Amino acid sequence: MRMTPITLKKNQYALRAVFELAKRRGKGPTKISDIADAQSIPVRFLEVILNKLKGSGMIDAKRGFYGGYYLTRAPKQIRVADIMNFMQAPPKQEMCAACLAKSKCPYGHRCAFSAMWNRVNRAVLQVYNETTIQDLLDNDRQLQGKHRSPRKRHFKTQQGRSL
Amino acid sequence: MRMTPITLKKNQYALRAVFELAKRRGKGPTKISDIADAQSIPVRFLEVILNKLKGSGMIDAKRGFYGGYYLTRAPKQIRVADIMNFMQAPPKQEMCAACLAKSKCPYGHRCAFSAMWNRVNRAVLQVYNETTIQDLLDNDRQLQGKHRSPRKRHFKTQQGRSL
DNA sequence: AGTTTGCTGACCCTTTTAGTCAAGAAGTCG
DNA sequence: CGACTTCTTGACTAAAAGGGTCAGCAAACT
């Protein structure tokens, strides 16, 4: 059962790039090409994306020999929503906030569907809002089996609250 | 704050068309052109959509003079999810079920993001699943101010459970 | 100076989505 | 039957969005 593309590739790339920067936090700036390699993203495309993302203030760049990109905030302070919202193209013309139609629909907010679209909207945003980059890092560590400490862990599966 | 297109136009049209048929249920078949007029959908395009939708079994058509489309089930028995799922093109190649990437991603289900994508997925599907065409009809009646009975109604706002 | 790395806008190509058309099949009416 | 209406269907075209590339420039380091 397939879903309509909730995620543009551009957005996915942006998210993965930030994720990668988070992984390497504290080790100085990371070159675009390194991020691209690590996350299998076309370099040229990533240039564009990272450059745009810089405008959000959550990452910054340094040029020259030891240059590269780096996070400006702790991974815990960056929510997936921050990235997703920022990456969205600024709405060109007025659009229908309720039903997500590209142009303002004739029915306005009085259409029978708006309540449902709003619920969908909220549901998605909620997930984005409550997920931080730190959460993703934690997830990653767990999946890679790189436990910080071999301390006993009662199973926390995906179902149970791992994210 | 804009969302990525959760809804294709084709899907929206399909939903609106079914909705319109539901509205006219019991009054005999409805012509494509009437549906198109009522819902502001390009006729030619709607032809294609309705024809496809017929394959789902939730609507059927009759040709000739008094012909048109009609629902085969009660609006209460049709969930938005039924329409959305059916309208999705069958996944061409294997795709990554977890992260919704078009092609199967190299990380498989072990990527740090899959848990999040799944949550998004489930959240959206849940809304689609718990919304029936009947719900939309009810919504519509309420918005149009066409209360069946002027009986007193304690406020049920969007928040409260109107959908 | 020369190298490394990011910056930036313009450009292009492919896929998807949206929409159109025309000829045909199946009913209805008289 | 013949005229008319309405769905049927596959092929076709147009437009937009998305994904990706490039070249030349601007900093920063050695």
Q: Looking at the domain assignment, is residue A28 inside a domain?
A: yes
- Residue B163, pLDDT score: 47
The b-or-e profile of B22-35 (16+ CB within 10 A means b, else e) is: bbbbeeebbebeeb
**Residue A35 to residue A47: CA distance in whole angstroms:** 10
Query: Do B32 and B88 lie in a common domain?
Result: no
Q: Which two tokens stand for residue A26?
A: 């504290």
Mean pLDDT, residues B129-156? 74
Q: Which of residues 22-81 of A touch strand C (CB under 7 A)?
A: 29-33, 47-48, 50-51, 54, 61-69
Write the single-letter amino acid at A46.
Answer: L
The confidence score (pLDDT) of residue B109 equals: 67
What is the domain-level CATH number for residue B28?
Answer: 1.10.10.10
Nearest CA in chain B to A98: B2
Residues B34 and B93 reside in one and the same domain: no
Q: What is the mean pLDDT of residues B149-157?
A: 41
Are A100 and B6 a contacting pair, CB within 8 Å?
A: yes
Q: Distance from A65 to chain B by nearest Cα, in Å?
A: 31
A139 interaction partners in chain B (CB closer than 8 Å): 112-113, 115
The count of residues in chain B is 163
- The confidence score (pLDDT) of residue B137 equals 97
Q: Would you say A68 and A61 are in contact if contact means Cβ atoms under 8 Å apart?
A: yes
Within 8 A of A162 by CB-CB distance, chain B residues are 115
CB A100 to CB B6 under 8 A?
Answer: yes
Rounded distance between C-alpha atoms, residue A41 and residue A28, angstroms: 21
B85 domain-assigned:
yes
B105 and B59 fall within a common domain: no
- The gap from C-alpha B8 to its chain's centroid, in whole angstroms, comes to 11
Interface touch A6/B116, C-beta < 8 Å: no
Return the minimum-mean-pLDDT range out of A110-114, A126-130, B63-67.
Answer: A110-114
Domain assignment present for B70: yes
**Distance of alpha carbon A88 from alpha carbon A25, whole angstroms:** 26
Q: How far apart are CA A115 and CA A17, in angstroms?
A: 35
Is the pLDDT score of B150 beyond 80? no
Statement to judge: residues B28 and B17 lie in one domain:
yes
Question: Looking at the structure, do residues B27 and B66 belong to the same domain, yes or no?
Answer: yes
Per-residue model confidence (pLDDT) at position B104: 63
Protein B49 CA to nucleic acid C20 C1', in Å?
A: 14
Mark whether B15 and B51 lie in a shared domain: yes
User: Are B66 and B113 in the same domain?
Assistant: no
Residue at B158 is within a domain: no
For residue B71, what is the enclosing H or E element?
strand B68-71
Contacts of B154 (CB under 8 A, 6+ apart): none
Nucleotide with C1' nearest the B62 CA:
D7
Position A26 in a domain: yes
Which residues face A62 on adjacent strands? A68
How far apart CA B66 and CA B75 sit, in angstroms, is 22
Quick one: which of B121, B137, B138 has its CA closest to B129?
B121
Contacts of B140 in chain A (CB under 8 A): 112
Q: Give the per-residue pLDDT at A152.
A: 40
Of A52-66, A92-106, A108-122, B5-19, where does mean pLDDT reach its minimum? Answer: A92-106
The answer to whether position A93 is within a domain reads: yes
Evaluated on CA atoms B135, B136, B140, B146, the torsion sign reads negative
Question: Could you tell me the distance in Å between the CA of residue A94 and the C1' of nucleotide C4?
Answer: 44
pLDDT tier at A163, thresholds 50, 70, 90:
very low
Domain count within chain B: 2
pLDDT at B105 over 80: no
Cβ neighbours of B89 in A, within 8 Å = 2
Query: Mean per-residue pLDDT for B124-142?
Result: 95
DSSP 8-class letter at A79: B
Distance to chain B for A123, nearest Cα, Å:
6
Q: Please indicate, yes or no, if residue A14 is contained in any of the structural domains.
A: yes
Per-residue pLDDT band at B153 (split at 50, 70, 90): very low
Regarding whether A121 and A106 lie in a shared domain, the answer is yes
The whole-angstrom separation of Cα B119 and Cα B75 is: 28
Distance A86 CA to C7 C1' (A): 19
Residues A94 and A123 reside in one and the same domain: yes
Asked if residue B2 is part of any domain, the answer here is no
Residue in A87, A82, A75 with CA at minimum distance from that of residue A136 = A75
Determine the structural domain holding residue B87 and report its residue range: 79-131
Reduce the DSSP state of residue A61 to 3 states and report it. strand
